[in-house]
Structure 1
Amino acid sequence: MGEGKNMAFGNYPEKSWSHSRDQIFQECPRKYYYHYYGAHNGWRNDAPQEAQTVYRLKNLLNLYLYFGETLHSVAEMYINHWEQKSIGYMREELYHRIRNLLNQAFKESLDPEQWWEAPKRRKMFAEMYYAKERELPKHAVGEIKKRMDVCLDHFLQCTSLHEVIRNPEYRLVESERLNTFFVQGNKVYVKLDALYRHEDGQYVIIDWKTGLEDERIEEQLQLYAYYLHEVQGVPLEKIEIRTEYLLAEKCQKDTVDGRGVEAIEQKIVDSAAEMDLMLVDPQGNQPRPIGDFRPALEARSCRYCNYRQVCTVQHR
């Protein structure tokens, strides 16, 4: 297949921590096992059939999350274009970009055989993979169409676009870059949607959200500030975080103090230790048997899980 040629070929994946990894672990340890251990090496032709299947299920797309990805991609495209040429894109250009990405993913989802052969290069919506008629739910399609208009309009009108991105006193530091750093021996991954620096030394982190408000976002914001403070040495009082809720047309501005940084550091340490309890060999990241990873406690977690094809413990 050749898709995993740049990925590790060890018996077990690299040990690390991220906010999304913690969310999966807290939601359903069984799902966590499939996502990080069951799918490992599944891109290889000589891998066990179960691993190949789980790896493909891992690559299934959720329609709402993929819409969020497309919005992030056009936001990044807009930011970089403005940074280079001080010119933005017209709304129609961005709209067609989002629509074309969604339509292409839909077309590819009609051919499961092609997707099975190249699950990293082709798209497959989970909603279509598990549907008898290979169709997207009509209510979901209607909701995405509405969100396309609302989120795109609010992106072009949002506070951060006008106060930060188009302000010559701010310069882009990074956008959608995957960074790593260590917290008490734990390798941590973090990715900021956009990071800007004002000429007076003030930093602004911008986070785009295309869905509903979520209380768990606070931990994510603390992680961003922790990374900027600990790794790049930025004083906490010089960090502002803007969460742009595009669906609700709301810009939430936050700062993080020393207690917030201490809280997220403790969160990382405690969460990593909890994950380690599910390992036979913490040093080699070898997991305990799948049966030791309990399933989700809530039925709704199973209803839309990518791994419901292979999971033997599901809420009915």
Structure 2
Amino acid sequence: MISKYPEKSWSFSKYKTLMKCPRAYYYSKFLMWGGWERTASERSRKAYRLTKLTTIEQFLGALIHKYIANNITALKIKDIKSAINYIGKEFNKAVYSSYKLRKEWELDPKNYTMFYSVYYKNRNLFEDKLGKEIKEKTNVLLNNYFNSNTLKDLQNGIKIIEIDKEKNYPSFFIRDYKIYSIVDLMYEKNNEIYIIDWKTGKKSSDDEFQLKLYALYAYKNYNIDLNKITLINEYLYEGTFEKRKYGKNELLEVEKFIEEKITVMEEYLDDKEKNIPKSEAFFPAKTSKYNCKWCNFKEICPEYSESFINTNI
């Protein structure tokens, strides 16, 4: 039986949402909870549906990650043509779903695709040169994957420890909070451990923290010597990669950071043990052009106004 409130958990994306807009955080973590049930309130069901909206960039990134995981597992050879065909077919399905299967998506949003831009009608996917742009970007991403140092390692024979394919949502605990840290790929070679993070977008200031989180996960769950862990960002759009190693003191700083942010999260709770949130009013909306333009929840947020999008706030 599903619990009345979500589990006590923390992730970097969850923390970023709270800092960006507490109201969006409330909608995405609490109001949506149980919204997949037919007996849930209409507002909860709508909030749940809105968490399933995806942007074109997010969808492409997820497809590339899925293709890479399957390709590594099957040890398939380089085949750009079939890979691009696969991505193209999945995109066509998603576009059809977004435009033609809205009712089906509303009833079962987990198993149908709805693009944010279609739902909110802010872009016609059949205009401009979107299809060509997606194909060109896909070609760049896949070419750089097939020519990556990581794939060369894999082809020379390694032991895969983890790969993000089974959707088992790996985690570890800090205090009594589950800390999610989904590793794209972890493997062993010559008694060394490599953790790979495939990036389909541009470099971000968040990238280093995420690698530290992966190192902390490996250290806690596998008790791996940190001197034997190499963390790698494979930037597939740019065709570059960056290697890093971290010491125990650096990971202790990450753990302390997470503990501090959990304390911040708990300020929004009525019951810390049961993870019961305060009322919606205690989660203020941080309205701005930047925050509101791509917010999934503007349809149900009473603070939202089109003026936030149409003016230079």
- In structure 2, the CA distance between the partners of 1:140 and 1:302, relative to structure 1 (3 Å rule), is farther
State the AA in 1 paired with 2:231: I
Matching residue of 2:28: 35
Normalising by structure 2, we get a TM-score of 0.91
What displacement does 1:179 show? 1.0
Matching residue of 2:240: 250
Q: How many residues align?
A: 302
Alignment counterpart, residue 91 of structure 1, candidates 80, 93, 97? 80
State the AA in 1 paired with 2:57: Y
Name the stretch that deviates more: 255-264 or 55-64.
Answer: 255-264
1:174, 1:194 within 8 Å by CA — same for their partners in 2?
yes
Matching residue of 1:234: 224
| Cα distance between partner residues in 1 of 2:279 and 2:17 | 18
Structure 2: which 5+ residue stretches go unaligned? none
What displacement does 1:147 show? 1.5
| Cα distance between partner residues in 2 of 1:307 and 1:22 | 17
Matching residue of 1:262: 252
What displacement does 1:185 show? 2.4
Matching residue of 1:174: 162
Alignment counterpart, residue 40 of structure 2, candidates 44, 47, 64? 47
| Cα distance between partner residues in 1 of 2:272 and 2:131 | 44
- In structure 2, the CA distance between the partners of 1:222 and 1:112, relative to structure 1 (3 Å rule), is same
State the AA in 1 paired with 2:160: L
Q: State how 1:154-193 maps to structure 2 within 5 Å.
A: 154-162=144-152, 164-168=153-157, 170-176=158-164, 177-193=168-184
Name the stretch that deviates more: 20-29 or 271-280.
Answer: 20-29
- In structure 2, the CA distance between the partners of 1:229 and 1:142, relative to structure 1 (3 Å rule), is same
1:127, 1:137 within 8 Å by CA — same for their partners in 2?
no
| Cα distance between partner residues in 2 of 1:137 and 1:283 | 51
Q: State how 1:73-112 maps to structure 2 within 5 Å.
A: 73-82=66-75, 87-110=76-99, 111-112=101-102
1:57, 1:306 within 8 Å by CA — same for their partners in 2?
yes
| Cα distance between partner residues in 2 of 1:258 and 1:297 | 39
- In structure 2, the CA distance between the partners of 1:132 and 1:31, relative to structure 1 (3 Å rule), is closer
Matching residue of 1:304: 294
Name the stretch that deviates more: 28-37 or 183-192.
Answer: 183-192
Determine what percentage of the aligned residue pairs are the same residue. Answer: 27
Normalising by structure 1, we get a TM-score of 0.91
SS state at 2:253 partner: helix
Asked whether 1:57 is paired with 2:57, we answer no
What displacement does 1:298 show? 4.1
SS state at 1:104 partner: helix
State the AA in 2 paired with 1:266: K
State the AA in 1 paired with 2:59: Y
What displacement does 1:259 show? 2.6
SS state at 1:262 partner: helix
What displacement does 1:137 show? 6.4
| Cα distance between partner residues in 2 of 1:159 and 1:246 | 11
Matching residue of 1:9: 2
What displacement does 1:138 show? 3.6
Asked whether 1:275 is paired with 2:265, we answer yes
